[in-house]
Amino acid sequence: MNIIGPDYLVFGVDDLVACSEFLTAFGLTPAGVDDKGGLFEALDGTGVIIRHKSDPDLPAPLPTATMLRQQVYGVRGDADIEAIAAELGKDRKVHRLADGTIETTDDFGFALKFQVTKRRKLEMPAEKINAPGAPAQRGPNVLGVWDGMPAKPRMLSHTVLFVPDIEVATGFYCQRLGFVITDVLKGAGPFLRPKDNDDHHTLFFIRTPEYMKGIEHLAFHMGGPTELMVAGSRFVKSGYESFWGPGRHKFGSNWFWYFNSPLGTHFEYDADMDKHDDEWIAREAPFGPEASQMFLLQHREKWVPGPGPAPKE
Amino acid sequence: MRLCRLDEVLDGQARGFSVPGLQRKVILVRRGVSVFAYRDSCPHYEGGTPMAWKADRYLNGEGTHLACHSHGALFEIETGECVLGPCLGQRLTKVPVRISPSGDIEMVREPAEEELG
């Protein structure tokens, strides 16, 4: 079961205009969007699909505040679709669509879709840094930052779900769909990566009461910490509301910056996440501020100390 | 303390105001000639978190409720009670305001010591 990760997250929203404005300002590109909504994509074609919450084409809503209506997972090939259909068909309805995709729900009622991934292969350099003792990544006359530098989300990175039972959640995603636990924050939940993805996590669970079931946040990978800071600073300057960050997580090592959104979930810029393989042994730490981040900063308006007041004559 | 003129908050709209000394903004929501005021602080997490998704954007899409754009919690405009979402049954903190004879919206009292950031 070669699941790669989330291709799209589908939302049923109450204000398409506000959501379009937000998603575009966040750095996503409308792809075939009309007055009924559509896809806002990162550079590799993964992204967020919005429809009005009353759109009859959407899967049924959860009975909570969440606007998440479906998670669309990309898999490597048709054989993987067949394997998932066979496995999940043992105890639930799996709908086959004319385009070869399948739809079903997980054990909590979150709607899922599996498709042969539509993401495009990216070929872009990572952020380059220079440090004494190491060969220069940026040679002579190559600048690190400049006004107007690009800072676009490259790829849908991960989803975090509020779920009422961690054992049920990990049972479904690990035993049935082949996800692997990379690390655990005890008191919250585990980080998971699917078999065909070496990112530290594409999925994380936080245990909550049933009435909170839904999406806590989603994240997009940026090209590096500088792009994350540039994108986040521009976003704040445009009036958008920072929720948490910038900072750097411990588990996953990824830089983070979270923002409120009109989609009823946080949108995160992330960068420079750890990679893992099957040799990795999951760590555990108690959930809390110390385990959650290496450091936490807070945005402030640009300021410069300068020479100070002129000396009195 | 004067926040703004009544006609600077459009009917059915909300606005947020930074108040010197207060850690969180004050949200004003206008319904006709009535104004409701709360601290911009969702009760879901200890200490509260800011609720807009962008400056002054505090309402849900239909404009029927104050919304926290962290997780989509909805609050009644008149009472501040959470009716859907993670802080179900909890309330926003009311800020006492009055409309002066000249049409200014004023906070009734200065911020208390414990509210100062």
Q: How many domains is chain A partitioned into structurally?
A: 1
- Residues A193, A243 contacting (CB under 8 angstroms): no
At B116 the pLDDT is 52
* Mean pLDDT estimate for chain A: 97
B96-110: burial string, b at 16+ Cβ within 10 Å, e else: ebeeeeeeebebeee
SS3 A254: coil
Say yes or no to pLDDT of A255 above 50. Answer: yes
pLDDT on residue A312: 80
Confidence of residue B112 (pLDDT cuts 50, 70, 90): low
pLDDT tens-digit profile of A167-188? 999 999 999 999 999 999 999 9
Measure the CA–CA gap between A178 and A174, rounded to whole angstroms: 5
Give residue B111's pLDDT.
60
Taking the CA of residue A53 and the nearest CA in chain B, the distance in Å comes to 11
pLDDT higher than threshold 90 for residue A307: no
Question: A112: domain CATH number?
Answer: 3.10.180.10
Determine, yes or no, domain membership for A138.
no
Cβ–Cβ of A15/B51 closer than 8 Å? no
* Residues of chain B contacting A262 with CB distance shorter than 8 Å: 53, 57, 61, 69
Distance from CA of A216 to the nearest CA of B (A): 7
For A199, the domain range is 3-121+152-296
Q: Rounded to whole angstroms, what are the CA distances from A97 to A101, A112, A114?
A: 5, 13, 10
Average pLDDT over residues B56-60: 98
In a domain, A126, yes or no: no
Residue A294 at interface with chain B, using a CB cutoff of 8 Å: no
Contact residues, chain A, for B84 at CB < 8 Å: 64-65
Test B53 with A260 for CB contact under 8 angstroms.
Answer: yes
Q: Which residues of A touch B73 (CB under 8 A)?
A: 65
A18 Cβ under 8 Å from any chain B Cβ = yes
pLDDT in tens, A50-103: 999 999 999 999 999 999 999 999 999 999 999 999 999 999 999 999 999 999
Distance CA A96, CA A102 (A): 5
**CB–CB of B70 and A260 under 8 A?**
yes
- Cβ distance of A65 and B72 shorter than 8 Å: yes
Residue A280 lies in a domain: yes
Query: What structural domains and CATH numbers belong to chain B?
Result: 2-56+92-115 (2.102.10.10)
Residue B108, sorted as left (phi over 0), alpha (psi -120 to 50) or beta, turns out to be: alpha
What's the pLDDT score for residue B115? 57
In a domain, A162, yes or no: yes
Predicted complex ipTM exceeds 0.90: yes
B5-29 residue pLDDT tens: 999 999 999 999 999 888 899 999 9
Instruction: Mark B67-91 as b/e (b = at least 16 C-beta within 10 Å).
Output: bbbbbbbbbebeebebebbbbbeee
Confidence band, pLDDT 50/70/90 cuts, at residue A289: very high
Task: Give residue A9's pLDDT.
Answer: 98
- Average confidence (pLDDT) over B28-36: 94
Does A131 map to a domain? no
With beta carbons under 8 A apart, name residues in chain A contacting B62: 14
pLDDT band at A308 (very low <50, low <70, confident <90, very high): confident
Condensed to tens digits (0 to 9), the pLDDT of residues A151-166 reads 999 999 999 999 999 9
A298 Cβ partners below 8 Å, 6+ apart?
A: A242
A200: in domain: yes
Contact B76, B89 (CB under 8 A): no
For residue A310, the model assigns a pLDDT of: 80
**pLDDT of A313 strictly over 90:** no
Residue B114 has pLDDT above 60, yes or no: no
Whether A145 is covered by a domain: the verdict is no
Whether residue A310 lies inside any domain: the answer is: no
Count other C-beta atoms under 10 Å from residue B111's C-beta: 18
Report the residue of chain A nearest B74, measured CA to CA: A65
Q: Which residues in chain A are closer than 8 Å to B68, comparing Cβ atoms?
A: 260
A206 DSSP β-pair partners: A162
